[in-house]
Amino acid sequence: MRRGLLVYNPAAGGRDRTAQMAALADGARSRGVVLSLLATERPGHATQLVSDRLADGPDLVAVAGGDGTIAEAASALVGSDVPLAILPAGTTNVVARELGLGKSPEEAAQFLTSTQTRTLTTWPTAGRTSLICTGVGFDARVMANVNPTLKRLFGRVGFSLTATWEWCRYEFPTIEVTGLRADGAPFTRRATFVVAANTSKYAGDAILSPFADPGDDLLDLVLFTSERRIDLLQFYRLLPGGKARQLDVRGVERFPVKSFTARSLAGYELEVQVDGEGAGRTPVTVGPAGGRVRFLVPPGSAR
């Protein structure tokens, strides 16, 4: 029998997950995996729950929640041989989609017996661990202003409503971005919206940058330099297509970096988002790359 932890956010996805987690643990036991249930009670609690129990020698740590809860648990496993199993239960579940784990906890639970893993790089950002992306400007503004009730009741539709409102009033502030390119050369750029991607997926199944590899020591830096509202609309309109055509929109620049710092030149500090959650305001420094975490993936998965 394999033994592990099942850390879960009891309110992930806007619903009570307690009974569902008990049923998942029962199902896992029937497949030879005994899971101890641990519910989070506050932001950052998943890190503490995992850290406090690593000395017990679990064979795996399963996490049911959104990308924020997953990143918290991952930060406790950096450099450890204990693999992390994702049971997606949040609004967008970007990491689970990147790893091909399905869209529900029940779908992903069938892979708890897998022995195949994929290693992802973590990025120290704004005092937390990032697995997906960091944004400064427009998308962070949306994350900061989305109504919690809309998010709970309508999920991604709630985000879309907020995004429409913020698009109508976005002021295209000037952001100075400095850092090191992939070859170590320094750079300085100015933009009106910045996203640095560790994963190719963004906001669900959308492909922000197909060049991003979450297992290397580089981020794909996407700079939006236009001040035209129609260009920002076009950028987001093309995201779901999966062909990265948004990178061809006027005023969009992309290149890989080892690290960067974003500062506001607008006369006021700008919102920052990390993995789809608000993370304070500028200035923000991302990288260099942190440690790595092993994730359980379906047998036969690529990379």
What is the model's pLDDT at position 302?
Answer: 62
What is the model's pLDDT at position 16?
Answer: 81
What are 107's two structure tokens? 């779908």
Q: Which of 179, 180, 197, 291 shows the shortest CA–CA distance to 246? A: 197
pLDDT per position as a tens digit, 26-38:
999 999 999 999 9
Whether residue 154 is predicted with pLDDT greater than 70 in this model: the reply is no
Q: What's the chain's Rg over C-alpha atoms?
A: 19
Neighbour count for residue 112 (Cβ, 10 Å): 22
- Residues 90/67, Cβ–Cβ less than 8 Å: yes
Where do the domains of the chain lie?
2-113, 128-286
Give me the sign of the Cα torsion angle 221, 226, 228, 230.
negative
- Residues 77/49, Cβ–Cβ less than 8 Å: no
- Residues 279/110, Cβ–Cβ less than 8 Å: no
Three-state SS string over 219-281 comes to EEEEEECCCCHHHHHHHHHHHHHCCCHHHHCCCEEEEEEEEEEEEECCCCCCEEEECCEEEEE
Q: If you average pLDDT over residues 114-128, what whole number do you get?
A: 93
pLDDT per position as a tens digit, 165-220:
999 999 999 999 999 999 999 999 999 999 999 999 988 888 898 889 999 999 99
Whether residue 80 is predicted with pLDDT greater than 80 in this model: the reply is yes
For the domain covering 128-286, report its CATH number: 2.60.200.40
pLDDT per position as a tens digit, 249-298:
999 999 999 999 999 999 999 999 999 889 999 999 999 999 999 999 99
CATH architecture, domain 2-113 = 3-Layer(aba) Sandwich (3.40)
Prediction pTM value: 0.90
- Percentage of the chain with pLDDT > 90? 70
